[in-house]
Each structure stands twice: as C-alpha cells, then as structure tokens.
Structure 1
Amino acid sequence: MKNIFFIAFFILYLSLCHAQDRGELLARLQKSNSQAEKVQILEQLATISKQTNQIDNAISYFKQALDLTDESGSVTVIGSLCQKIADLYLQKQEYETAVEYALQALSLHEKDKNNQKVADLQHYIGSIYKKNQVYEKAIEYFQKSYQYYRQSENIELQKQVLSSLSETYYLNGQLAESEKNYAELVNLAYASNDIKTETEALTKIAVVCTAEKRYEEAIHYTQELSSIYEKNKQINQLAFTQQNLGYLYRQKGDLAQSEAYFQSAIATFEKIKQKDATILSNIAVTYSMLGNFTKSQEYHLQAIEIEKKRNIPEDLADKYNLVAANSLLSQNPFQALQYANQAVQIATPANAYKQLKDSYLILSEVYNRQNDFKAAQDAFKKADEYSKIIENQATKSKENLQKKRIEAQERESDLLLLLSEKEKQSLALRQALLEAEKKEQELTLLKKESELNEANVKNQRLAKERAEQQLRLAEQLLETERQKQQILTLNQEKIMQELALEKQKVAQEEQQKAIELERNRNQIRNLQLKQELQEQKMRERFVYLGGLAALLIMLIMAWAIRRSNRQRKLIQEKNKTLEKQQKQIQEINEELRTSEEEIRQNAEELLVTNEQLESSLRQLSIQNEIIAAKNRDITASITYAKRIQHSILPLPEQMQATFGEYCLLFRPKDIISGDFYWLRMLPDNRILFSVVDCTGHGVPGAFMSLIGSNLLKEIVDEKKIYSPELILNELSKGIKYTLQQEKTANRDGMDLAIVLIDKENRKVEFAGAKNPIVYVQNGELFYLKGDHYEIGGNTTKQDVYYTKQQISLPNDESEKTTFYLFTDGYQDQFGGTEGRGFSIRKFREFLHQIYYLPMQEQERLLAENLAQWQGKTRQIDDICVVGFRV
C-alpha cells in the first residue's frame, strides 16, 4: 500500500514539474524573436508532451518546429524532426502517416548523400511496413538497407537488419528465403560470439523446417539449441527446447522419444519451480497416442488448473477440448460431453470460433456414439457454421491485407511524386529569389551609374560653356582677319581672270586647227582599210571552195573502195558456209540411214516388251487390289485398336474434374501411340498423374502402353503403393517379369514422369525414368531431371531404384504453379530451315513464354508452333504434352 502511494505521489510530482516547465517554455516562445530559438523551445515542449503521453500535443509542437525550419535549414535538423514525428505516429499505430514523414527524412538524406543515415532510415521504414503487415514493401526496404550494411564493418547493424529481413520473409510465407537469411544470420552471430542472436536464428530455422514438415532437420537444429542452452545453463530456454523436441518426435511418429523429452521438460521446469500448461498438454497428447488415457487425463487436468489462473478464455477452452477428446478416445463419452460443454461455455462469450468449432465436432461425435443422431447433426451444423465464420474471417483478412498492401504501394508512389513536386517548387522558388536578388543588385548598380552619369554630364556642360565662350572670341578675331584677306584676294582674282580669258582665246583657235587636220587624215585611212578588206575576203572564199571540192572527191573514192571490200568478204563467207552445210547434210544423211535401221530393230523389240508389260500390269493390278484389301483390314484393325487404347486413357471429364483447367497435345505417329497418360484420384484426395513414352510407336508401342497401364493400375489400386519412386521401382520389375527380359533378348521398356499432388500439404512429389518435369512458379521456370534409367529394357539383372524429388507449393492457394509432363516426341521433331530437331532448350523457352495464358490457348499455340516448325517434314515419333495448374 505504501509503495502504491509513493508511485502515485511520484507521478503527480513529475506532472506538476512538467506543467511548470511547459508554462515557462510557452512564455519564452511568445517573447522570442529568433527563429532558431523558437524551434528549440518547440522541440522541448514536444519532448515534455511525449513524456506525459500527450502524443497529439507532441506531434503539433514538432510540426510547428518543422514549419519554422526553412529550406536553408540543416538537413540533419529537418530529417530529425521528420523522424520524431514518424515515431509518434508509429506509437499511435497510424502507420501510413508514419511512413509519410519517414520518407520525407529519407528523401532529404538521399540528396545530402548521407549513406549511413539513408540505410538507417530504410531499416526504419521497413520496420513500419512490417508492423503494418505490408511485407513486400518491408522486404524491399530491408534489402536496400542490408546492401549498405554489408559493405560496412558494423556487424551489429548487419545482424539487426538481417534478423528483420528473415522474420519478414517468414511472415510473408517465403520460407525458403527466410531459412537462407536465418542461416546467414547464424554465421554472423557465431563469428561475433553472439549466442543470443545465434540461438534465436537457430530457433527460427527449426520453426521453418517444422512448417515444411522436415522434422529430421528441425530435430537437428533443436538439439543443437539444446546443447547451447545446457552448456550456458539457460534452464528456462532448455525446458522449452526439450518440449519442442517432444513435439517434433511425436510428429515424426516416435512416441517413446516424444514422451522422454516431454518428461525432461517437466523435470527441468520443476528445477526452476515453474509449470507450463503447453508442455503438460503436449505430454498428455503423447500419452493419449500411446493409449495411456488415464495418464493423459492427469496431465490435461494439470494444464487446465494452470490456464484457470492465467484466465485466457481461448487457451482454457482449448485445454477443455483436448481433455474431452481424450475422454472420447478412452470410450468415456459422458465425460467427453461434460468437458466439451464446459469449453463451449468458456468460448462463447469470447467469440472464440476455432475453439467452438472443435467443441461442437467433439459433441457431434459424442451424440453419434450415443445414437442421438438429431443432436449429432445439430452439433455438426454448429461446427460447420463456425468453420465458415473462420474461413470468411481468414478470407476477409487476406483481402484486407492485400488491399492494405496495394494502398501502401499507391500511397508511397503518390508521396514520392509529391516530394518530387515539392522539391521542384522549392528549386523554382530558390531560383526566383536568386533572380530577384540579381535584379535588385543590377538596379543598385544602374542607379549608381545614373548618378555618376549625371555628375559627368553637369561637368561636361560647364566645360562646354567655357569652350563656347573662348570659341566665340576666337571667331570674332578670325572674322576681322578674314575680311581683310578677302579684300586682297578679290583684287588678285580680278587680274588673274583677265589673263585667263586671253589664254583661253588663243588655245581655242589652235585646237580648232588641229581638229580639222585630224579629220582629213582619218578619211584617207578609212579608204585604205576598205580596199584591203575586200581583197582578203576574195582570197578566203577561193581557198574554202577549193578545199570543199577536194574533200568531196576523197569521200566518194573511200566509200567506193569500202563497199567493194565488204561485198568481196560477204561472198567469201557465204561460200564457206555453203561448204560446211553441204558436209553437215552429208553426215546427217548417213546418220539418218543408220537411225532408220536402229528404229526398225527397236520397234520390233518394243512390240515384244509392250506385250510383256501389259501382262505384268495385269498381274500387279490384281496384287494391288489384294494389298489394298489387306491395308483396309489392317487400318480398320488399327483404328479399332485406337478406340481400345483411348478407352484406357483418362476421359476429358476426369481430367477436367481433377485439374480444372488443363492442356493436352496428343499426336500418335501412326494412328495408335506408344505414348499414353495415366491418372488416379487416391482415397485421401491426393492425385497421381503420369505421362509415359513406351519403346516404339504404332502397334508395338500400343502393346507396351497397354502393359504399362495395366501394371500401373495393379501397383496403385491393388498394392496401394502411392509414392512415385516406389511406383517406378515396382513398374520396372513388372515390365521385366511380364516380358521375361531376364530369360530372353527382349529389351523393350518405357520412359516416364510421375507426380503425386498433395494439395492439402501444399507439395508435389516427382520421380522420373529418363523423363523430366518442367514447372513455372512465381514467373520462374524450373526443370527437374529424372533418373538415368528407363523402366525395364536394361541388360543388368539387378533391380534399379529410383529417387523422389519434392516441389513445395505456395501457401496461398490463389498463387498457382503450372506443371508440364511430356514425352520426347515434341522436342525431337525435325523441322526449321536446317531440318534439325526442335531441342529441349527451345521447348522449355517456349513453355516459359506461354505458361501464363489460359490452358486452351496454350494447347492451340503448342499445336501451331509444332506445325510451323515441322512444315512439310514427316512426323518422326509419337507426341504427348500435358499441362495443368495446382
């Protein structure tokens, strides 16, 4: 009581102190004129609000501080404020807003190229997405963060982000990736002697192995954990590890070991004076499986007493259901009825639908055993109702989670665009401010220049006025001097003008005389030139006419000589040609005479030969009719055999009911086929399916297909052998025995691929005799080879043992995996421009190109691609390709 009073008083004292501090800070905030000081005060107010759990007030103060911090502020300060706001929204579980502010901080540090801070924030954002169950985005940011941390020497940060990444892969159902990353974490922890991290990672690997029902591996890792805990004397953890080993051995079917480990766990808990309801329930279930129902009930009731103290309705109802089931198994339905009804009473107010479903299933079985069938039916309907509620909740949860993931992706994209737009606006604003400052500086400079120019202009004006005054005085003096000079000049000019007029008269007279003399000389010169030109023209005309006449005479003579020579040559050539023709005619005449003799002889021989051919043709016609009749009989028989062979193949309705959507390309080379496909739906709803390629094709291949089909039916339906590799072992023995291959030279056999599809446990088991399987999962194509031994046909007398390979299906049933089983006919078909085989590589690539299409469309494309490749080349083998989705 005193302690409670002291705590209450202490809390009251702290709140009063904070109230006083807040009042002082608010007063300082109102008085302050410094932006930096205001930011500091607001941060202090936010911190006080956070400490007193006033989250909304803290957010408000931090946002005010963020608004006051302008773009020129420190990236560190702005980023820190954004992350503090994100922390508060995370505390309020408002994950979307937390991501918004964290992304703002990340954007700032990315621009600042602070890689360490960027990696820290990527890890932080990944953690927010993980808490919000948006696992794909969480994985994306954890991977980015880990890429940086791997390059650094900070092992602690590497371990932290790797742990987050591994756990997120597990939560997202990517168990293989989770296990791989946990294994890397184990190595890092071991190298740094970090036992805590090492044991946590080993525990998670064991959990992954258990989820995939790899109990041997889970036991190995759990035993390794047990050794570490025992060595370090971690008793509590050791007890839980022993409990886990008990559970794993029970799942494996080793009940003796299971009991031993549960007892060890109980003994270990007793050392630390603790009891654990889960361990008690587990050992109770183990005793129940061993048939010791009394011991089982003893431990169940101990577990119930512990759960009553914990007061968790779901767990307590579970324990009552377990003890009710144990009572039912021990043939005590009355007791089972009591415990199941108690479970219903506890689970109903808590809406514990799973526990209610289990309770009503137990009640239904109890009423059945008491022959109260109406009550049994009512209880079963109740169980079915709760089962549907659970399914609807799971479906709704999946839909909400998917919606949340899509919205998170869209919101992040929008936010990044908004941040980018804000950055552009910020840059534009800074640019505008710079431009404004630049213009202001230019205006200041212009103003100063203008003032200087005005002063210069004023000085220049004064200097100009002084210069103009001096100029006017000088001009007056010059004017006076010029007037005197003009008077002297006028007198001199008058005298000079008179002399010039006299000279001009004398010069004009002499010029007139010279002109007349030159005119007479030119007339004499022109007359002489005319006479010389006429004489020259006469000489040229005479030479031209004489040359032309000589040229014509020479041309006529040359033409006459050339014509004479050509005629002479033509006559000589014609004479030679005639001589040759005469010789050829003589030779042809001799050949014709010889040919006539040969033709007469050949004609006689042809008459004889024609008679013989006509006789032979009549015989061939009769034989052809016999052969045609036999061919019709054989074809009819083979066609009937085709009907028989098709009757052993699964019907389209069976294929449709089993796989839903499937594609089938079945092309016998010669009417009936050595290839066949085989299907069985097992009693436990598992599916066996096989595609088989028998030795040969046509009739021999068909015989082998009948033998193979019958042997498969015998192995599965009669011997109840369902595991693919064991089926192949038995089939190989059966072929050898049926064809007496150990006593004869017969070496016929078959190649095949067979799968066992287990939808409930989300796995497919595969075994192959020379034939592979191709499947596409999450867009990636996988190719598993079969063993290198065919079924039967080998020369060794020793039995061959085939191996099994396992393919895990996605936990989400909506994520389909596409499988292809096929014979070698498609890939070996000749064709193309070079007449080569299509090849398995091209076939795999083609399947990868079409896998996402509807199955009917895939079937059409497979046929079209084969026809295009084959062209006019004949089909060389039977072809069978089957595709389906699981």
Structure 2
Amino acid sequence: MYKYFVLLGVLLLFPWKQLLATEDSLIKVWENPKNHDTLRFEAYKNYIWETYMFTNPDTALVLSKELYDLAEKKAISKYMVAALNHQAVAYSILGQTDQSLVLYAQSLSLAMENHNEIGAGVIYSNMGVIYTDRGAYKEAAENYFKALKIFEKKKDITRIGRLYNNLGVLYNSQKIYHLAIKYYEESLKIKETLKDPKEIGGAYLNLGAVYGNLKESEKAKTYYEQAYFYLKKAKDLVGLGNYYLNIGQLYDKSGEYNKSLNSYLRALELFTQVNDVVKITMTEIYLGGNYNKLEEKDLALMHLVSGIEKAKQYQVQSMEMIAAQELYLVFDKAQDYEKALTYLDLYHQIKDSLNSAKNQEAALNMKYQHEYDKKAIMDSLEFARIQGLNILEIEEQKAALAKARTQQIAMYGGIVLLLGLGLVMYRSYRTKKKAHDIINKQHQLLAQTHQEIKESIDYAKRLQNTILPNDLTLLEHFPNHFVLFKPKDVVSGDFYWFEYIKEKDLRIVAVADCTGHGVPGAMVSLVCATALNRSVNELGISDPGLILDMTRKLIIETFTKRKQYLRDGMDITICCLDANNLCAYSGASNSLWHFSKKAFDQRNESALTEHRVDKHSVGWTETLKPFKTQTIQLGSGDYIYLQTDGFVDQFGGPKNKKFKKKPLKEYLLSITTRDPLTQKELLLQKFNNWKGSEEQVDDVCMMGIKV
C-alpha cells in the first residue's frame, strides 16, 4: 500500500552541492543570504525531502544530521524537530524502525516543549505508519487520531488528506474494507483539489488495492490505470514500484502468474534503486510465492528465505507471516514435511500474535496490577511483623549487640593488616586501570576511524549512484531489459551508462569496467562516466567509436599531471540504437553478444554470436589507435548483451575454476526464451551457485536488451 510520511523538514548547508545538487529554485533560495532564515530553511527542507528522501535515504540521513546541528546552533526548535523527523523517516525507509521510534520520541518531546502542535501531529502520524507496518494496529490508530485532532484544529487540509490515506491503509490491513474505502475516497477528494499528481496517483493506487482485496478485479484495474497515469507523470519511482507490486498481486490472485512475475520483478528493480528495504522485503516474498506457483522451487526458496530474514530484521510481522505460509507451501509441495510443519507452526504463531494483540496488552496490564497488589500485601505483612516484636526479642537483640562489640575489637587488628594489603592491591589496580584506559581509548579511536571510513565509503556509493541511469528512464527507452549489477565491495569499478539524443532519436548505452574495484575503481568510474557525458552531451558525438576516442582523450587529460601518464581507464562495450534498431557498436576489450531470434528458431548453432571489439583500453597507451565502429541490424525478438568480465572470471564450482565464456554462452542460450527480468534472476542464481562459499573476485555488471 501507498503510505505517507508527513513531516516538516529542515534545511542545512550542503557542502557537496556542486556534486549532488541541481540548479534548482529551492537551492537558489537557500544560497541567497538576503532571504530570511525561515524562508531559506523551508526551501532547503523541501529540496532534501523531494530530491533524496525516497530515492536516496542514505543521503537524506547524512544531510538531516548536519541539519540538526545547524538548527541547534541557531536555536530554531521548529527545525530541530524537523531534522529529527527527517532522520526518523530515513531510518524507517532503511528498515531501522526501532531507531526511528527513538528519534520520534525525542522530537515529540521537543515539539511539545515549544508548543509546536503541527510538528507533534506530524510525529504522531509517522509513528502510526511504523505501528501499522508492525501490525500493532491499536497503537497505530491511537497515533493517527491524535494527529487528526491536531490537523483538524489547525485546518491543515493537505495533512488531513494524507492522514485519511494512512487511516485507509490501517483499515485495509485489518480487512475492514468499508472504512478503508471511506478514508481513501475522502483522501482522494482533498488531493484532487491540490492537483498534485504524485498524491492523486497514490490515492488511486490504494483504492485499486482495496477493491483487489474485495475481488472486484475490473474496478481495481480501472483505479490502477488511473494511478499509473499520475505516478508516471510525477516520475515517482516509489509510487510506480507500488503500482507494479499491487497489479502483480491482482494478476497473482487471478492465476495470471507470468504477468504477476513480470510485475513483481519490475517492482523489485524500482524498490532496489531507491533502497526501500521494507518494500524490497514485501516484493521478494510475493515473488517467491509466484515462483512456487510456476514450479521454480530454487528461485522460490531464494526469494522467500531472503524475504523472511529481512521481515524478521525489520520487524514486519505481517510479511513474516506471509513468508512462513509460502515456505510451508514450497516444502509441502516438495514433500519435505518436517520443514513444512516448522513453517506452518511459525505462520500460526505470528497470526495468533497479530490477532490477539489487544488481549495480550490487557493480560500484561493485569499481570502488572497483580504484581503491584501482591507487593503491597507483602509490605503490609512485613510492617505488622516488625510492630509485633515483644520485649523478649528486644532483650535478645541487646545481648547480641554486646557480643558483636567483643568481636569487633578482635576484628580491628585484622582490618589493619587488610588495609596494608588493600593499599598494595589498590596501587596494582591503578596501574592496571591506566593500561585499561589506554586500551579503551585505542579501541574508541579505532571504532571512530572505522566509522569515518564507513561513512566515506557510503558517501562514495552515493556519488557513484548519481552516474547510474535512472531505472524509469531505462524502462521508458528499453521496455524489455535487465541490469545485473553486483559490486564486489560497497562501491564498484563497473558501471552502466545511458544517454538519449532526442534530436536524432538515438539511444546510447554502455557497460564499462574501470581500473580496479572498490573505492579506487569507483573514483575512476566517476571520471570515465563524466568523460562519456561530455563527449555526447557537450560535444554532440553519437558515433560509438568516436565517442570512445574523445572519452579516452578526456580521461588522459584528467589523469595526466606533470607529463606523468597514468594507465587508469576502462574496458567498455558501447552501442547506439536508432529508431529502426540498427545497432552501431564499438568497444575496448569487452565484446558485444548478439542473440538472433530468427537463427534460434531455425535451430542455427550461431544464434548467439560474440562480436569482437578493439583490444586496447580507453586510457593511456603508447600507441593510441582509433576505435572502430561496426553495425548489426537487429530483428524482432533479438537480444544484445553487454557485460564486464566479472561473471566469467568468478572462481567456483566443484573444481574451484573460472566460470569462463563458453558455459555462460550456453547458459544464456538455454534461457533466452524467458523474459529479461527472469533471465536476470536465473543468471544471479547461477552466479551465486557457482561462487558458493568462495569470495567474489570482481565486480559483476551485465545488461540484456530485447528488441
């Protein structure tokens, strides 16, 4: 379902804006020192929210932490609250909902201290989203209605519309469909007056979901069509991911499993691109169930096991329950009844837990009350016993005290000796403590250094993500494609690249392998991608060979200092497709693979052809030879495959050898009748099975495009 985090964001000085920001009106407002602080903060707040929160939550989190520091220095409590909310939302998208709730508690306290009612309402609403995901419906409702009371008091129509939407999600989750429809329709009315395509698309999407649950499939499809129109107009990747997930469930229920499979795979790509871990979890679980219905046991298990582990990690009990049920069905079908029973028991445990949440809470309160009453009674009995001591007992106590005095005198000598020994031990302790403190400081320094390195690598990843093409853009120009991108480390020396030249109706796509991997490789990839962009966008080159010639020139200029020539560069395959599917291509070391549907249908052994390219790299060499451009006329149903060498060079298998090209070609030929996204799934499974427990040796990047 399509849920909204509603918050007042905060703005901050963005020290890397030349790399990550665009020439946007919001940025200009922030950069103008003549503007009032409130105006500047509000503008940058909206920029962070709209640009990063749902497409790059890691970046949003980093900015929000700095944002809080800036707001605190200026003592602007409203924006301190907003900064904490930003962080909480980012953590929630990243699946760390416990941390989100901690931050919401802090921001709620701060909002109330400063009489920030709207801020408090936003926090209540966002907490309601988390509790809904967790299946804690009572807590979700309490928070939502607290928020609604505030928004109605303030007559905040926009937030009321979003809150109605969230209430619809809550009631839909509990299968109270008439209330879900009521709130979704009220939300839609408000959003239509605001004319925001993203908001309107979300409302239509949720109405489609509830009618899908009511098995009114035609009505659901009508709403989904409306949703797709608005979400595509808004270029809302998360919303489109939700669309594919929901329409996939509709196809799934009607038994159209191939259609649902394609929808789930498309949803998974979109959610992966924006790193929405909760939605990735949901999609993997539905995808696993879909594969089971298609008799693909291995793929079903791969996604279901991954999904149930993530559901536990992110505390999404409702999805853990569905995953357990699907795993039961997989093992039951495979006649592995022991494992089937294990997952069936887990399914019922979670289901009972979700259904009896209120009873559990009442029982817990009764338990606490019972323990309180019991303690009160015990305290009263103890008091009565003390008051009932008679004179004889008092005399006995006096005699005992006299005896104790005698024993104390005898003890003094021993105490003196113990003090001497204690002094020696204390000095030894001080020496050890100093050494321990030094070790602790070293550990803290190492931990701090490790954290700084991790943050630097995470930032490098965010920078690298900026050079990768948007999945929605690729989907628009290549409706049938896949990208298998599996870095060896957090960041990659491999990358894929795309550019569309509207004036000539040309689609240019490339897959590249830069010198090194990890952070060094990622740094080189930024230089190489920038050079490709300049060659095409600034210099207007569209011929693949000439693009590589110019890109090499720009790379050499970048890496050449004081007449010292660095050999850093890249191996690459680059293709340019026109409107008639004439494919002009060039490359450095990495060949282009072409699958001919016509040859395959004729059972021709050359259905999958490797088209070789130049062997020299796009970088400095002693002899700078020009890159050749060649052409292939592609037919309907043909594929082109662009790849780096990471897949074929991977060690594994029974003899721990490289995978190599020939087995990969044979495997590709065996799966070319499958749709592109299924090919990606099968290739990923093949790679992981081959690798086994071995370390991944290099980055892996492969793109398949169907004409």
Could you say which TM-score interval applies, normalised by the shorter chain?
Answer: 0.3 to 0.5
Higher helix share: 1
RCO comparison, higher one (Cα < 8 Å, 6+): 2
Report the TM-score when normalising by structure 1: 0.30
The TM-score, its normalising length taken from structure 2, stands at: 0.37
